[in-house]
Structure 1
């Protein structure tokens, strides 16, 4: 990034990204209000990052190789995730997480919905995407910093594999009538109770490493920290565990399977209290 011109270019990208998210979530909230469920925001999650990556590619004056790399990686990840969330929610009712959130917030009026669901997700997307925005105005990766960039790509690939394979395994498991009422504890789900969330976290740490391969991308480290916090403690694994722990067999699954980081599973005999 070269002086005042670099920061000015970043400001343009940052404002354009914010405006894009406002429009995206405004349209998504209108759709949610019309169909009577606001979990459509999950479909907009991946699409928001895709839009920001392409804005950064088009508006950014920084290293073109890294801008194109981000556009491709984020598009592959974001479109897959949004399509998965669309298939998961189509024809079904509201996500219990959002029902509970709105009940705790005092109702489902549009102001509360905008503030607690769509506004929160939009701000989170903008903050988490800072490595992409900053990288769009950064100089080319040089010297040994290429090792950091390659490590970032490798971590992204690992995360994408965990997320995509974990989702596919769970989808096949649920599609089999013989598994009705059973707990998914096979494949990647025997190594971690949340392979999709672990994969998502790895993807964003990989994106940060790619951005950190050129100054000042390293300064955006709080973005993957925030994403990991959301996935583990705020809206992801913790809330899911609260509901799943009430299902028969899940406490035993918890005792033998790692919460987040993939670890070799303990035997079913060892997990019996």
Structure 2
């Protein structure tokens, strides 16, 4: 089946138009009904739509195209289903939208950002599916598959572990510290970043014939920027950590866990705890904006515990709330 060229040979324009239309429809439904059960789910579904659309339009089913498309479908089916279950069955709503759900412009701002997120992050798959001629699979493809696979393990494992942990009566006020959470505080974020670096690596062998493909590096870079500086880590760290410090005992427990556990780079706890602070910041993404607030412990805490908290590097946090993917259960 020959390729169908729509607007441009790389399918960048048609996928942008489809994304805008799909997200506008989602916004209209969500705003009219005043609920947000479809917000994150519509993002994951949009990814699937773009992948399948470009594969069909391309008219070729080279192994590389099948692999990158199937990889996207697998990760987005998990993400969409998990987030829909979390909002529908566990929470009943998405607290991120409490202050904007009834304000049209503010709420629409989330959907505009979601348009950008979906389109940019889909670029490697869109580009690969648009190429009628594909080089044979090579070692770099399998490196990409391995990176993607590791990312999928971290994301699915991290989400599932935290979901099970939260359902335990003993978990109230605590952060998970076993399994994947033993060597990193947010394995799901690590996984999401690795997924898109792996997909980009799989797409890279096609760039030699068409250097335009290098624009798809925006996919993993944008994902990292979102999760490290916008809606991921800043929403889960900084001032948000006070939920683990409601009592002196819980505060000491969490401060000890945080001191020996890397944010997103997997590091054995004993090694991480011994690293100098500057090494943690430069090589392990332990940025100052993630630090514990100096006044993190609640009023019923004693002075000794507060002093211990400050000993773990507590400083006033710069906490910003974003409006993109969050898979914190």
Number of equivalent positions? 259
2:56 aligns to what SS in structure 1?
helix
Offset from partner CA, 1:220-240 (integer Å, 9 cap, x none): 212211111111111111111
Q: From the superposition, tell whether residues 110 and 26 of structure 1 become closer, same or farther in structure 2 (CA, over 3 Å).
A: same
- Where structure 1 has 5 or more consecutive residues not aligned to the other structure, the ranges are none
Does 233-242 or 258-267 show the bigger shift? 258-267
Once superposed, what is the RMSD of the aligned Cα atoms? 2.7
Decide whether aligned partners of structure 1 residues 44 and 6 sit closer, same or farther in structure 2, where only a CA change above 3 A counts.
Answer: closer
Q: Find the partner of 1:111 among 98, 105, 110.
A: 105
Matched, 1:9 2:9: yes
What residue is the counterpart of 1:146 in the other structure? 138
TM-superposition CA deviations, 1:87-125 (whole Å, max 9, x none)? 11115354343446x4xxxx84223321x2001111121
CA–CA distance in structure 2, aligned partners of residues 80 and 150 of structure 1: 22
Do the aligned residues in 2 keep the contact of 1:21 with 1:122 (CA within 8 Å)? yes
**1:118-157 alignment, distance < 5 Å:** 118-138=111-131, 139-142=133-136, 146-157=138-149
Q: Give the match's secondary structure for 1:181.
A: coil
Cα displacement string for residues 154-195 of structure 1 (whole angstroms, at most 9, x for unaligned residues): 111000011011111111111111222222111101111110
Structure with the higher helix share, 1 or 2:
1
Does the C-alpha gap of structure 1 residues 269 and 225 become closer, same or farther in structure 2, counting only changes over 3 Å?
Answer: closer
Is the 8 Å Cα contact of residues 204 and 224 (structure 1) preserved in structure 2?
yes
Q: Distance in 1 between matches of 2:70 and 2:159?
A: 21
CA distance in 2, matches of 1:137, 1:154: 24
Q: Could you list the runs of 5+ residues in structure 2 that have no partner in the other structure?
A: 246-250, 276-307, 312-329
The answer to whether the Cα contact below 8 Å between 1:56 and 1:67 also exists between their aligned partners in 2 is: no
User: Are residues 1:233 and 2:233 paired?
Assistant: no
Query: In the alignment, which residue of structure 2 is the partner of 1:200?
Result: 192
CA deviations 1:55-113 (Å, max 9, x no partner) are 1101125662222222211111111110000111115354343446x4xxxx8422332
Residue 213 of structure 1: SS of its match in structure 2?
Answer: helix
> 174-183 or 201-210: which moved more?
174-183
Contact 1:232 1:260 in 2 (8 A): no
Match of 1:168 in 2: 160
Q: Is the counterpart of residue 258 in structure 1 residue 262 in structure 2? A: yes
The structure with the larger Rg is: 2
Q: Is contact 1:49–1:74 with CA below 8 Å preserved after alignment?
A: yes
CA contact (8 A) 2:41 2:80 kept: yes
One of 25, 37, 51 as aligned partner of 2:49: 51
Equivalent in the alignment of 2:297 = none
Q: Is the 8 A contact 2:183 2:262 kept in 1?
A: yes
Which digits, 9 at most, give the CA deviation of each residue in 1:200-242, with x for residues without a partner?
0000000000111112334421221111111111111111113
The residue matched to 2:24 in structure 1 has which SS? helix
Which whole-Å CA distance do the structure 2 matches of 1:174 and 1:35 have between them?
Answer: 29
What is residue 244 of structure 1 aligned with on the other side? 240
